[in-house]
Chains A and B, each alone.
Chain A
Amino acid sequence: MTLTAPLTTPLAAIGRPVLAMLAYIGRIALFAVSVVSHLFRPPFYPREFLTALMQIGWFSLPVVGLTAVFTGGALALQIYSGGARFNAEAAVPSIVAIGMVRELGPVLGGLMVAARVASSIAAEIGTMKVTEQIDALVTLSTNPLKYLALPRVLAATLAVPVLVATGDAIGIAGGWLVGVHRLGFNPATYLQNTYDFLQSWDVVSGLWKGAAFGFIVALMGCYHGMNSGRGAQGVGAATKAAVVGASVLILATNYLLTEVFFTS
């Protein structure tokens, strides 16, 4: 024991967080399976679903739109100045469009929704847990996964692709504004260029990403809320964990999906 300890200690120091992370991912996967399984078993709660759709979809539009317009604008400036090094300024419209719909629209949209929605779901459900409202739901013969988690997860999975599509359009418009007013592009040519080079799979792959990110955001909010510790501190920690976890998972999933979608 004592002889091998100096050798195994560093390994254990690496192994422990890795094991903890795998266990964490496993717990979330199990949670996801049990939430989704309620999709096929009545009773259903359409009112909760519609409320969640409003909260997650409609009220996230401003923040997603603002993110997209500034990103599209900045992207146009960057591509123009970078492209100038090899006389490729004309590529601005197509690269802005491809960059927005494939990558920046879904990822930044997903991250903004993570900040806004994962936090509010975790705080709301965490507070319900701390104030015994989750226990009360159970005693009133209502499954908290079915009543609280499923409507939010479903709403986010459906709403975020729509948000991403809106963000794509606004981002391209941001690029267009900067392209036309700051970089001297012809308005009609810019749009024609965007349209010509964009393929439908570019857009559709981004929407699939959006659906995956929406699922992740709501799932992480619900998971951490339902496993919140006691008191205000517990809710605070749950909220933070939900946002951090959702953001990291979004970026990791984005890489995996990009591999799957674009390397074959």
Chain B
Amino acid sequence: MIELSAVHKSFGPNRVLRGVDLTVPKGESMVIIGGSGTGKSVLLKCILGLVTPDAGMISLDGQDVTRADRDAFLARFGMLFQGGALFDSLRVWENVAFRLLRGSLKRPKAEAREIAIEKLRRVGLKPETADLFPAELSGGMQKRVGLARAIAASPEIIFFDEPTTGLDPIMSGVINDLIREIVTEMGATAMTITHDMSSVRAIADKVAMLHDGLIRWTGPVAEMDAASDPYLQQFIHGRADGPIASVR
């Protein structure tokens, strides 16, 4: 279980998170929605310790994440970055198998490669892509390699930052199903950031909307449509008029 309480983060005068409270139960799929630049990516990075919050407390299974042993803590996580963040000096399969080629999870090279190719297949990429370099792939393909890398070591907790942005509708469907599968089959806890309402409906157990540095609304996905919050309603229906200013 991941718990955030009163998490604050500013970059200079830009107050991005202003007291975020959120609970993600173990084995559930939480989807974070919200406008661009509201701090969704920063929120995930705070949990991982890539960004240090100015104030507030983040705990994993009741333990303060800042006190945890970093290596053991990170070994439980997988993360898909918004831009893919593939290592461009390494081949696709070496990216996917990064954890399996070094460190505590190290395996023989052939086995690591096999696992990488299997994970690539799961995100809809052919084995031929394994030996290419990231720069030789399209943006959507890079995103899927990033996804394969995030799930390669079968982590307990997985963060997906906009997994379907830049993908065609069919591939988005494949990725949505995959994320759902990972949560139900592997029992993983997932946090997904997305703008895509069809993804929200396909992936989410719970939804949280971030606006103005606070969690504006959170609840089960089934209650989302009936919720009366005008911000949430404007967002899920994509209306230009409403309480969320369209010029930000």
CB of B83 within 8 A of CB of A141, answer no
Is B178's CB within 8 Å of the partner chain A?
A: no
Q: Give Cα distance in the complex from A128 to B82, angstroms.
A: 14
Instruction: Tell whether A45 is near chain B: CB-to-CB under 8 Å.
Output: yes
User: Quick one: given A43-B102, A132-B85, are A139 and B75 in contact (CB under 8 Å)?
Assistant: no
A residues less than 8 Å from B83 (CB atoms): 131-132
Contact B71 A141 (CB under 8 A): yes
Interface pair B81/A135, CB less than 8 Å apart: yes
Closest residue of chain B to A133 (Cβ to Cβ) is B85
Bound CA–CA A135/B104 (angstroms): 19
Q: Are B102 and A135 in contact (CB under 8 A)?
A: no
> What's the nearest-Cβ distance from chain B to residue A158, in Å?
21
* Interface pair A133/B87, CB less than 8 Å apart: yes
Q: Is the CB of A138 within 8 A of B103?
A: no
Q: Hey, which chain B residues are within 8 Å of A138, CB to CB? A: 48-50, 74
Q: Are A136 and B102 in contact (CB under 8 A)?
A: no
Q: Which residues of A contact B98 (CB under 8 A)?
A: 140, 142
Within the assembled complex, what's the spacing in Å between the Cα atoms of A138 and B49?
A: 9
Pick the contact of B85: A45, A136, A141 (CB < 8 A): A136
Contact with B along A123-162 (1 / 0, CB 8 A): 0000010011101111111100000000000000000000
Q: Given A138-B50, A139-B79, A141-B74, is A131 in contact with B85 using a C-beta cutoff of 8 Å?
A: yes
Across-interface contacts of A131 in B (CB, < 8 A)? 83, 85
Q: Are B87 and A136 in contact (CB under 8 A)?
A: yes
Contact A136 B79 (CB under 8 A): yes
Instruction: Check A141–B104 contact: CB distance below 8 A.
Output: yes
* Number of B residues with CB within 8 Å of any CB on chain A: 23
Answer whether residue B77 sits at the interface, using C-beta atoms and an 8 A cutoff: yes
Does B75 lie within 8 Å of A141, measured CB to CB?
yes
Q: A133–B104 Cα gap in the complex (Å)?
A: 20
Known: A135-B50, A136-B79. A142 touches B102 (CB 8 A): yes
* Chain A positions 106 through 132: 1 when the CB is less than 8 Å from some CB of chain B, otherwise 0: 000000000000000000000010011
| B74: contacting residue among A43, A45, A139, CB under 8 A | A139
Distance in angstroms between the alpha carbons of A139 and B104 in the assembled complex = 14
Cβ < 8 Å to A, chain B residues 3-24: none
State whether the Cβ of B200 lies closer than 8 Å to any Cβ in chain A: no
Residues of A within 8 A of B75 (CB): 141
- Residues on B with C-beta less than 8 A from A142 are 98, 102-103
Query: Which one of B49, B82, B99 contacts A140 once the chains associate, using CB atoms below 8 Å?
Result: B99
> 5 additional contacts, CB 8 Å, given A139-B50, A139-B78, A142-B103?
A132-B81, A133-B85, A139-B79, A140-B99, A141-B71
Which A-B residue pairs are the 3 nearest by beta carbons?
Answer: A132-B85, A136-B85, A139-B79
Interface residues of B (CB under 8 A from A): 45, 48-50, 71, 74-75, 77-79, 81-83, 85-88, 98-99, 102-104, 149
A-B contact pairs, 18 of them (CB 8 A): A43-B102, A128-B87, A131-B85, A132-B82, A133-B87, A133-B88, A135-B48, A135-B81, A136-B86, A136-B87, A138-B49, A138-B74, A139-B48, A139-B50, A139-B74, A139-B78, A139-B79, A142-B98
